[in-house]
Chains A and B, each alone.
Chain A
Amino acid sequence: MSTILSIRDLRKRYDGGFEALKGVSLEIEQGEILALLGPNGAGKTTLISTICGITTPTSGSVTVGGHDIISGFRAARSMIGLVPQEVALEPFETVIRTVRFSRGLFGHPRDEALIERILRRLSLWDKRNAPVKELSGGMKRRVLIAKALAHEPRVLFLDEPTAGVDVELRKDMWDTVAELKADGVTIILTTHYIEEAEAIADRVGVISGGELLLVEDKKRLMARMGKKRIEVLLSAPIRKIPPALAAHDLVLTGDNDTLVYEYDTHAERTGITRLLNDVAAAGLVLRDVKTRESSLEEIFVDLVSEGRS
């Protein structure tokens, strides 16, 4: 795979002095889905806005498909599609006209077959002649995507595409993203929803306080950072953890009938065998044993709090 988007030491300081980006560097491969996670004010939208030309960078460089976003802005922007966070649409225009406008703005000739394909894919074809103001919130979000796709971008930025939409539409969006990836489109999405990143991203970037804390393959990140926990359900509640089990650093939860043990999946010795032997030796009877992996959300919270400290 080749690099399609390259960001080098990108900084943005606003007029008021606030530093929204503190030297972000990032390489994005063609055809991948990168999810940028971060709390409010982390710099996610500033990063996207700067790449797309809405915000002027203070320093650093960005190239899209090898084209610098300042000196080669035409070629760079031609490759980019942007779905903004806010639903911003001309309310009195019809769906099809506003999508045609977006294509025209990028200098492309009219292509009614393509527009029809895009609108059908996003379930908007039946509403093509409806004024935008008559659409539901979810449909308006789809119109934003249709507009961003109208000039056939190679890189698509989705700035919190599913913020405030219902579960069904969110799943639809994920399907659309998967289809676009299959078409070879590189997708960078920002999201608050960890499950979104977990469900569709290839790589995950965590941004906080204008700094990119890490970018890593989602599965590797979960494997590296992930902890597993064993929940040992006892047949009867106990008052306290027996002294013989003190070395295992257990937590007693539930109705005092569950022992929780956390371990590192990559450690040479997980300590599970010894734990189970010690539990049996302490005279405790097991009812069940469950294992659970830590979610991306827990990893994210850990990283951000580490970054803050």
Chain B
Amino acid sequence: MLTSQQDKKRFNVHRLTRLAMLTALALIIFVVEMQIPNAVPIPGVKLGLANIITVYAVYHYRAADVLMILLVRIFLGAVFGGNLSALPFSLTGGLLCLSGMLIMRRFIDEEHIWIASVLSAVLHNIGQTAAAVVVMQTAAVIGYLPFLMFTGCIAGAFTGGAAQLIIIRMKNNKNKK
């Protein structure tokens, strides 16, 4: 029999391991995606495949847990990528996107996760553009927002669809056991 303290400790280790694994997965996806040349010459456009993990985590973990996964991935991603100048954009975009998703998970069920993913991609675009306005000290960059939103919808649907597939597979695996 475990005492309640031991039980709590075990839970923490279990949780820590899972979060660390998800963060590592997100980072691997991030690094692999860096190798894919960007087809669209618009600043800030990317697939954002690492958000497959974020989307999945939003629907399976507590808000604080997802926040930790996201922040560590963004910071370490910037360090691994050697592109610290992109940090303010990904940070603002990521945080706005996460807050939006945490609200959306109350209204949108897991079967429609791709819709939440598309909407949060648009939020990410708004956040990163806002950061660009502040960093560049000019509103001229807002001209890119419609293009960002368009590509963001495609990328969001793609990552959301991928997350959906993962969730279905994981459920099937559980049922087999």
**A, B: real partners:** no
